[in-house]
Amino acid sequence: MPKLLLTTGGGDCPGLNAVIRAIVKSAHTKEWKVYGSKEAFTGILSQPIDLMELTPDIVAGIHVKGGTILKTTNKLNPLRFPVTNPDGTITLENRIPHLVEVLKSNGFDAVINIGGDGSQKISQAIHECGFPVIGVPKTIDNDLTATDYTFGFQTAVQTATECFDKLVSTAESHHRVMIMEVMGRDAGWIALHTAVAGGAEICLIPEIPYDIAKLVETIEKRYENGRGFVNIVVSEGAKPVAGNVTTQEQEAGSEHIRLGGVAYALSAALKKSGCQMEIRETVLGHIQRGGFPNAFDRVLSTWFGVKAFELLESGNFGKMVAFRNNQVVAVELSEATRIYRQVELDNDLLLAAKKMGIVFGD
């Protein structure tokens, strides 16, 4: 029987288990054996290897569960694998050729790699080494340019909107300025969608550096007009004009700068700029990643999983499944990772938000 390896890499995300279930059920009908690598490619690169055999019984009902039964990690990237030298320094090595050899020596015929921008760059490198691979786009940030939506995004927006709705009522009750920080890294999709859905007065995204003076002016006008409260959504990657993003101490082994805390930085800047209103801050953090996927993400994840196995079975490798114009299609992996997808300044939803009176600080 042919053997397939599944991996889930990067941050966890609602819908991962639904993709796994769809692939396993599709593969079972064609008599493929399916194994999952624990914590992305760490499982297959471990000695001994740490894999989980995936059968229809094991994946039964997991589509409603958050997270991933295979666990995940955003460390130990095989493209930039950290190796400690005798002198204690760390060198980053490309372990993709070694990974391909391990896959071959363990009898695997193909890989389906489920993950975001970084994970699909790994998929492209595996493809360039000549090993059969299919990518499935996953990220709550919705920052992969080749697909209209990634699974997990809609659930993250739903979670953020529900939290925002609760803050609106307490802002109104206490005449406060409420700042809610959401995830998204360098893309403002979660913040933008949440602001529109929740009816925010101010939305700050990485793509539009904000002028603190304009924010103070907006807040004061709203209080002068008798509304008496303001709700702000801020993306973790937002920054002031001529300023920098707010970061935390970087974790050992992580490739990414750890973002977070912009809500508190914004609060301090508003107060320093003369804002006299009472301000409170809320950082949603990993609440946006957890929990069960909503109906849209369950459907999209399942659709992605079935399409991924169809591509594999037809030998159409080096592709990533994508959602375009309400259809699930195949795109080249090189296209999927070519450009980081941010909110463009002429984006229709962004323009609609501005027409609704949402202020972006520009």
> E strands of 239-298, at which residues?
279-283
The CA distance from 274 to 162, in Å, is 31
Residue type, 60: A
Question: Is 148 noted as a catalytic residue in this protein?
Answer: no
Residues contacting 335, CB < 8 A, separation 6+? 145, 146
Query: Residue ranges of the alpha helices (H) in 129-234?
Result: 153-174, 189-198, 212-224
The CA distance from 211 to 198, in Å, is 23
Q: How many residues does the chain have?
A: 362
Which three-class secondary structure state does DSSP give residue 218? helix
Per DSSP, 251 falls in state P
Which three-class secondary structure state does DSSP give residue 182? strand
Q: How many CA atoms lie within 13 A of 288 on its CB side?
A: 29
Query: Active-site residue among 12, 117, 141, 143?
Result: 141
Q: What is the 3-state secondary structure (H, E, C) of 288-303?
A: HCCCCCCHHHHHHHHH
- Estimate to the nearest angstrom the gap between the alpha carbon of 169 and the chain centroid: 29
Q: Provide the sign of the torsion angle of the four alpha carbons 105, 107, 109, 115, taken in this order.
A: negative
> E strands of the chain, at which residues?
3-8, 33-37, 51-54, 81-84, 90-93, 110-115, 133-137, 177-182, 202-204, 230-235, 279-283, 319-324, 327-332
The residues that are catalytic are 141
